[in-house]
Amino acid sequence: LTCEDMVRRRAEHNNSEIFSLEELSLHQQNIEKLENLDKWCRHLKTLYLQNNLISRIENVNRLKKLEYLNLALNNIENSAIYT
């Protein structure tokens, strides 16, 4: 599964409409990399990514409405957080 497929599955309650999602939970999905989340989910306010395999997070600053981000229990190093 691609990251986009996982996002669409989580958006079932929103008629699989990912562009207007405000909250997204992708915890414990063995995700290694997030791609294009800032393009699909521009209205995200809350993002749960805990307990995955993410080693690097990029472009979080593009999620302009993001208020809460949980990256606990991932493989991220301090030097791997880029804005």
pLDDT digits (tens, 9 = 90+) for 30-52: 999 888 888 888 999 999 999 99
CATH number of 3-80: 3.80.10.10
pTM above 0.85, yes or no: no
Domain chopping of the chain, boundaries: 3-80
pLDDT digits (tens, 9 = 90+) for 57-81: 888 889 999 999 999 999 987 655 5
Residue 77's contacts (CB-CB under 8 Å, 6 or more residues apart) are 55
- Strand ranges for the chain from DSSP E: 23-25, 46-48, 68-70
Longest dimension (CA), the chain: 38
Spatial strand order in the sheet of 46-48: 23-25, 46-48, 68-70
